[in-house]
């Protein structure tokens, strides 16, 4: 197909939608293979230069890129060759590109050689088909599980370096950021700002949500009048063994991803923390009951649905469920409206769901299948607290009728 398109670019106009999608995927696989070859060349050059700092400068000149970018490529090449050979093999097979591979090298840079080899083996079957955010989360979770004590120490070291940063730009505006804040407080602060901004977004309001969030945050900092003062919820998912200190399996913060067990226990022990028990199926790890009211498995209960789904169920989307809406989704094998099931989607994907050519269905085990206008189906399984049963995505071509 690639040879045909190169020989006759006009053939693209004659292709069907599914053929164009196939071409995109084939091209992406070939790019990944070439990137693996390029990394091998960079790593070999680094060895010949005895890993001297000047290697990055040489690569930068050869590829017409910045030295910072070249340095990250040299580091990634050395890490993949020496520490993550399975990830490099995935690149050789066209199943993992450089951008996603670097999410793994970044997330595992602090691990010992023995621990990183364990993570390399764990991720081999988990990263293909996942987007960069999902790869980063999977790598971070596997790294924290391989060395929980090191993960906790790394988090604490980062927190010590917390700071407020002010960066004046040439255009007359300025960026203000809080770096290395605790995850739970930063998430709660963002959620509070987001809720206040959405409350202000009326039909008469010309500002975008991003603009409103920025204005609300600045008002809160300057006067404390930027939004409501009520407490804000964030969802922390932690298994019982980790909660009791028997296990150091990483916990999961909805919308953020894995956090170290020690950090999760610190959040739980906070004076302002409210605990709610979520019962899970021991076979699948999926939520089946929420306390303290102890709701039965009632698909009409919005709060339970958001706890169950954690995040938007669109494949690849990581928006927290508490910031999402709930949309009826057609049950597999049923006509529209006959046995619809409620599922959590963010506002963007709720709109996408209603557009022509898109088809959404949910199976009996909770898997959401999304068929695109090109006829390709992408699936996402329900999240689970069980290790090895994390939320996964699959992609396949829809069979022609």
In a domain, 145, yes or no: yes
Note whether 157 and 267 are same-domain residues.
no
Query: What's the domain count of the chain?
Result: 4
Cα 18 from Cα 238, distance rounded (Å): 41
Note whether 304 and 286 are same-domain residues.
no
200 C-beta neighbours (distance < 10 Å), count = 15
Note whether 67 and 131 are same-domain residues.
yes
Is the whole-model pTM more than 0.75? no
Q: Which tokens hold the place of 308?
A: 């169950």
In a domain, 197, yes or no: yes
In a domain, 401, yes or no: no
Residues of the chain with pLDDT under 50: 293-300, 388-389
Note whether 1 and 97 are same-domain residues.
yes
Question: What was the pLDDT predicted at 162?
Answer: 94
∠317-322-327 over CA atoms, to 5°? 70
Owning domain of residue 191: 164-223
Note whether 92 and 171 are same-domain residues.
no
Note whether 317 and 352 are same-domain residues.
yes
Contact at 8 Å (CB) between 345 and 310?
Answer: no
Cα 391 from Cα 254, distance rounded (Å): 12
Contact at 8 Å (CB) between 255 and 319?
Answer: yes
Contact at 8 Å (CB) between 165 and 177?
Answer: yes
Note whether 266 and 213 are same-domain residues.
no
Note whether 123 and 61 are same-domain residues.
yes
Across the beta sheet with 359-362, the strand order is 341-345, 325-331, 359-362, 368-371, 376-380, 393-397
Note whether 15 and 132 are same-domain residues.
yes
Query: Long-range pairs for 351-359 at CB < 8 Å and ≥24 separation?
Result: 352/314, 353/327, 353/329
Note whether 86 and 127 are same-domain residues.
yes
Question: What was the pLDDT predicted at 210?
Answer: 95
Q: Which candidate, 78, 34, 88, places its Cα nearest to that of 55?
A: 78
Contact at 8 Å (CB) between 75 and 105?
Answer: yes
Q: Which residues are bridge partners to 163 per DSSP?
A: 179
Q: Which residues are bridge partners to 168 per DSSP?
A: 174
- The dihedral built from the CA positions of residue 262, 161, 186 and 231, taken in this order, carries a sign that is positive
Q: Please give the C-alpha separations between residue 159 and each of 152, 215, 237, 240, in angstroms, as whole numbers.
A: 11, 27, 21, 26
DSSP state at residue 224: S
Question: What was the pLDDT predicted at 295?
Answer: 34
Taking the C-alpha atoms of 337, 339, 343 and 345 in order, what is their torsion angle to the nearest 10 degrees? -20
Note whether 79 and 103 are same-domain residues.
yes
Note whether 269 and 376 are same-domain residues.
no
Label residue 145 exposed, middle or buried (CB < 10 Å: 0-12, 13-18, 19+): buried
In a domain, 398, yes or no: no
């Amino acid at each position: 197909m690639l040879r045909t398109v190169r020989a006759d670019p006009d053939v693209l106009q004659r292709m069907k939608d599914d053929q164009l999608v196939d071409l995109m995927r084939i091209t992406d696989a070939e790019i990944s293979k070439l990137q693996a070859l390029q990394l091998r060349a960079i790593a070999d050059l680094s060895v010949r230069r005895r890993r001297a700092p000047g290697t990055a400068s040489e690569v930068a000149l050869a590829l017409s890129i910045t030295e910072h970018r070249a340095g990250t490529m040299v580091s990634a090449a050395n890490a993949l060759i020496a520490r993550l050979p399975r990830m490099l093999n995935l690149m050789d097979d066209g199943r993992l590109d450089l951008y996603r591979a670097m999410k793994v090298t970044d997330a595992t840079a602090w691990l010992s050689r023995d621990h990183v080899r364990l993570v390399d083996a764990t991720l081999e079957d988990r990263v293909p088909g996942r987007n960069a955010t999902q790869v980063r989360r999977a790598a971070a979770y596997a790294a924290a599980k391989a060395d929980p004590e090191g993960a906790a120490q790394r988090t604490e070291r980062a927190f010590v370096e917390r700071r407020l940063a002010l960066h004046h730009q040439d255009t007359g505006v300025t960026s203000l950021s809080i770096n290395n804040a605790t995850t739970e407080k930063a998430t709660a602060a963002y959620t509070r700002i987001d809720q206040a901004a959405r409350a202000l977004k009326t039909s008469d309001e010309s500002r975008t949500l991003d603009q409103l969030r920025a204005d609300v945050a600045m008002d809160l900092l300057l006067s404390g009048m930027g939004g409501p003062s009520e407490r804000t919820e964030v969802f922390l998912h932690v298994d019982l063994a980790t909660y009791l200190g028997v296990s150091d399996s990483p916990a999961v913060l909805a919308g953020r991803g894995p956090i170290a067990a020690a950090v999760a226990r610190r959040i739980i022990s906070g004076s302002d923390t409210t605990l709610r028990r979520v019962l899970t199926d021991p076979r699948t790890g999926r939520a089946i009951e929420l306390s303290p009211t102890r709701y039965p498995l009632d698909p009409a209960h919005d709060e339970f649905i958001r706890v169950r789904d954690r995040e938007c169920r669109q494949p690849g989307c990581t928006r927290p469920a508490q910031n999402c809406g709930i949309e009826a989704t057609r049950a597999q094998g049923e006509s529209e409206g006959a046995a619809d099931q409620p599922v959590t989607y963010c506002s963007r994907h709720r709109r996408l769901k209603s557009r022509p050519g898109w088809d959404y269905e949910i199976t009996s085990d909770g898997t959401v299948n999304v068929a695109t206008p090109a006829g390709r189906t992408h699936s996402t399984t329900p999240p689970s607290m069980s290790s090895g049963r994390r939320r996964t995505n699959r992609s396949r071509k829809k069979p022609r009728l």
